[in-house]
Amino acid sequence: MNQYLSEKEARQYSPLTLAFLGDSVYETMIRETLVKAGNIPVRKLHEQKIRLVCAGFQARAFEMLVPLLSEQELSVAKRGRNAESIPPKHADPADYRKATGLEALFGYLYLMGDRKRLEDLFQTIWNGQENFLSDEKE
């Protein structure tokens, strides 16, 4: 039995279901990268993780990835961004929608087993994090 879905099968999932999975995939990739970067106290790991998984950061990551996405990937990301959902009170609604688009894309790629593409997109986000985080301070 194939553990991965075909593109057609993955596209049949609702964007919020894809985002539900993609949230976990994205956060796991953040956590793994932070841990591999060095053995630091868990409190510091948590603080760094929080900055990188918040809706504001993910919204900027979404915007950065859009020009790099294939037509199919962009369609999934936009479906996630446009899905009807209620953002948490502390989140900017526009940022929350873009973050949901990013998470939907990560869930979609994960379901298809496209680890290489996930890693490439994640690396682009990781490489741009300092720019994102410095923009927040201004």
Distances (CA, A) of 127 to 29, 65, 70, 131: 13, 12, 20, 9
Residue range 55-112, pLDDT digits in tens: 999 999 999 999 999 999 999 999 999 999 888 888 899 999 999 999 999 999 999 9
23 conformational bin, left if phi > 0, alpha if psi -120 to 50, beta if neither: alpha
Token pair, residue 116, equals: 């290489």
- Contact in structure between 25 and 118 (CB atoms under 8 Å): yes
- Contact in structure between 12 and 26 (CB atoms under 8 Å): no
CA distance 2 to 116: 18
Give residue 2's pLDDT. 64
Q: Is the pTM of this model over 0.85?
A: yes
For the chain, first and last CA: distance in Å? 51
| Domains (range + CATH), the chain | 7-129 (1.10.1520.10)
Q: Is the pLDDT of residue 134 over 70?
A: no
Token pair, residue 59, equals: 């919204």
Mean pLDDT of the chain: 92
Residues taking part in catalysis: 23
